[in-house]
Structure 1
Amino acid sequence: MRNFEEKTIASETIFSGKVVHLQVDEVRLPDGRTAKREIVKHPGAVAVLAITEEKKLVLVRQYRKPLEKTILEIPAGKLEAGEEPSACAARELEEETGYRAKGLSHVVSFYTSPGFADELLHIYQADGLAKGQGNPDQDEFVELVECTLEECMEHIQNGDIMDAKTVAAVYLWQNQVLSGR
């Protein structure tokens, strides 16, 4: 197997924000040449696959400024420093939707955009949902939406669901349904 590792020669942080940091690394390529890499550093995030007793997926409708549009997403949020992903999943589910889960189980973790970012996203499945009162962050405006699997598939087709975590969650749910889980 060939070695594709790129060795960092120099690294410069050019922006530090509330959510992300941007750094530019100079790297030595496997063939000895050098190149620049722009890297978004992110603390990681969680998302929750929450299905009600009525077999509906819990979603939030939210405006996303980078997209300049409103989309449907599963509840999700950024990990705080030192926070366990399962605790973040429970917190985000309740804050955004009002639902509490009796249990959360890890389903999958994946890098969202490994070509330029180190964000690792963890998807949890919520079990034993109990409805409560949501409490979104002060700068977060969300609307609770619950959809059947068929409705979710339609939302994917018409572009209302377009983010990777929600598309992945819907297909995970579809796989569970098809396999009888």
Structure 2
Amino acid sequence: MSEWIARGERTVYENRWVRVAMADVELPDGRHLDHTVIRVRPVAVAAVVNAADEVLLLWRHRFITGAWGWELPSGGTGEGEDPAVAAGREFEEETGWRPGPMRLLLAVDPMPGISTSHHRVYWADGAERMGEPRDAIESARREWVSLARVPDLVQRGEIRSANTVAALLLLHHLRMRK
């Protein structure tokens, strides 16, 4: 199978968060098609696990899907910002806890057929309580949730965010097998 080749791209819509474009794509058989491309900043995600094998999660509502669910703190990286630093910053802003040293756990592209949304998930062992979260509006509550509960929460649809599902199932696998 040969690669699809982008021969050009025009912007359809743009703001500070996203750029939507139409790409002229040449298929391996020579045909061309218009393909939507959504370009966004890279996302940094933070998973912090304590000594009791619990992870600090946000319970939040997503109006786009109309669903409540557990998520890991995350946010866009600033121009030139180290993603590990961004993950730690977002974690502290959204939880009120300062994480230990952040290490790369995994990188995922949730929608590679249409979007450049690249997510890097970092994890740390432990965090220090600093106070109330600066971005408390981001979630209805914050709780330390046992990694042992993760598969059941995913199966019941209480963890729906793709980057959170991938990260927590990997952490569950790594931490629960010891």
TM-score norm. by structure 2 comes to: 0.91
Quote the sequence identity (%): 24
The alignment yields a C-alpha RMSD, in angstroms, of 1.7
User: How far 1:18 sits from its partner (Å)?
Assistant: 3.2
| Letter in structure 2 aligned against 1:40 | I
2:150–2:169 Cα contact (<8 Å) kept = no
Q: Which amino acid aligns with 2:156?
A: N
- State the match for 1:81 in structure 2: 79
What's the counterpart of residue 165 of structure 1? 163
What CA deviation, in whole Å up to 9, does each residue of 1:60-100 have, x standing for no partner? 01111211122110111111222110110110110111111
Secondary structure at the aligned position of 2:100 is classed as strand
Are the aligned partners of 2:148 and 2:172 in contact in 1 as well (CA < 8 Å)? no
CA distance in 2, matches of 1:128, 1:163: 23
Q: Which consecutive residues of structure 1, in runs of 5 or more, have no partner in the other structure?
A: none
User: 1:67 — aligned with what?
Assistant: 65
Match of 1:51 in 2: 49
- Shift in alpha-carbon separation, 1:19–1:86, aligned structure 2, 3 A: same
Kindly provide the CA deviation profile for residues 5-27 of structure 1, in whole angstroms up to 9, marking residues without a partner as x.
Answer: 3132x311111123211000112
- 1:178: Cα distance to partner? 3.7
Provide runs of 4+ in structure 1 moved above 6 Å: none
- Listed as ranges, the gaps of 5+ residues in structure 2 are none
8 Å contact kept, 2:49–2:126: no
1:21 partnered with 2:23: no
CA deviations on 1:81-140 (whole Å, 9 max, x unpaired) are 221101101101101111112211111112111010011100101123111221117x63
Q: Judging changes above 3 Å, is the alpha-carbon distance between structure 1 residues 171 and 59 closer, same or farther for their aligned structure 2 residues?
A: same
Kept after mapping to 2: 8 A contact 1:55/1:148: yes
| Deviation for aligned residue 1:141 | 4.0
Alignment of 1:22-37 (within 5 A): 22-37=20-35
Aligned 1:31-180 pairs, distance under 5 A: 31-133=29-131, 134-136=133-135, 140-180=138-178
Which shows bigger deviation, 48-57 or 86-95?
48-57
CA distance in 1, matches of 2:138, 2:171: 26
Aligned equivalents of 1:105 and 1:142: distance in 2?
27
**Shift of residue 142 of structure 1?**
4.2
Q: How many residues align?
A: 177
